[in-house]
Chains A and B, each alone.
Chain A
Amino acid sequence: MSEQIIDRLEKTEHIMKLDHVSKSYKSKNRIVKVLSDISVDFHSHKFYAIMGHSGSGKSTLVNILGLIDSFDIGKYELYGTNVSNFKDIELSNLRMKNIGFIFQGFHLNPTLKAYENVIVPMLINKDINPKERKKRAIELLTSVGLKERVDHFPNELSGGEQQRVAIARALANNPKIILADEPTGNLDEKHEQEIFHQLKELSNIGKCVIVVSHSNEVKKYADRVFKIVDGTLVGDDR
Chain B
Amino acid sequence: MNIKSYFKIAVLNIFRDKKKVYFILVMLICTILALGVLTFKSIFSKHISDSINKNIGFRVIDVVPKLDVEDYGKSEITKIKHIDDIYSSQYGSVYAKSSFANEKFDGSIELIYGEKSALPNNIIGATFKKGQKNVAICPIDFYPDISIYDTKINEKNIIDGNTLLGKDFAIKYYSYSFNGTKKTIEAEFTKTFKIVGLYDSKNVMNMGNQCYVPFEDIKEITDKGIISEMNTAIYAFSIIVDSSQNVNYVVDKLDELGFTGIRLKNQIDQKLVNTIIISCDVTVALVLFAVILLVSSYTKKKILGEAKTIGVLRTSGYKKSAVINLYLLEIIISNILSYIIGMIIFTIIYLILKNLVFNYLTYFGMMMPLNIFDYIYAFIIIVVITSIIADYYIIKKINLNIVDLIGSEE
Contacts and interface: CB of A to CB of B under 8 A. Distances in A.
A109 B312 CA distance: 9
Nearest to A185: B409
Interface residues of B, number: 30
B284 interface: no
Interface residues of A, number: 43
B12 interface: yes
A111 B410 contact: no
Interface stretch (B100-108, B314-322, B331-339): B314-322
Contact of A69 (B9, B308, B319, B402): B402
B315 A95 contact: yes
Contacts of B408: 59
Contact of B410 (A58, A112, A123, A130): A58
Interface in A130-162: 130, 153
A56 B409 CA distance: 12
Interface in B290-326: 308-309, 311-320, 322
A88 interface: yes
A101 B315 contact: yes
A36 interface: no
A96 B317 CA distance: 4
Given A68-B402, A120-B9, A123-B9, A103 B317 contact: no
B94 interface: no
A192 interface: no
Contacts of A212: 409
B236 interface: no
B316 A121 contact: yes
Given A69-B402, A107-B308, A112-B12, A96 B409 contact: no
Contacts of B320: 88-89, 92
Nearest to A52: B410
A107 B313 CA distance: 10
A54 interface: yes
Interface in B14-48: 16-17, 20
Nearest to B312: A107
A92 B317 contact: yes
Given A110-B17, A111-B13, A130-B5, A124 B406 contact: no
Contact of A111 (B12, B315, B316, B319): B12
A59 B311 CA distance: 15
Given A104-B409, A112-B12, A63 B319 contact: no
Contacts of A112: 9, 12-13, 16
B283 to A, nearest CB: 39
A179 B60 CA distance: 87
Nearest to B407: A105
A58 B410 CA distance: 8
A69 B322 contact: no
Nearest 7 interchain pairs by C-beta? A96-B317, A111-B16, A121-B316, A68-B402, A95-B317, A181-B409, A101-B315
29 contacts: A54-B410, A63-B403, A68-B403, A68-B406, A69-B403, A89-B320, A92-B314, A92-B319, A93-B317, A93-B319, A94-B317, A95-B315, A101-B316, A105-B308, A107-B311, A107-B406, A109-B312, A111-B13, A111-B20, A112-B16, A120-B313, A123-B1, A123-B9, A124-B322, A125-B317, A130-B2, A130-B5, A172-B316, A185-B409
Interface of B: 1-2, 5, 9, 12-13, 16-17, 20, 308-309, 311-320, 322, 401-403, 406-410
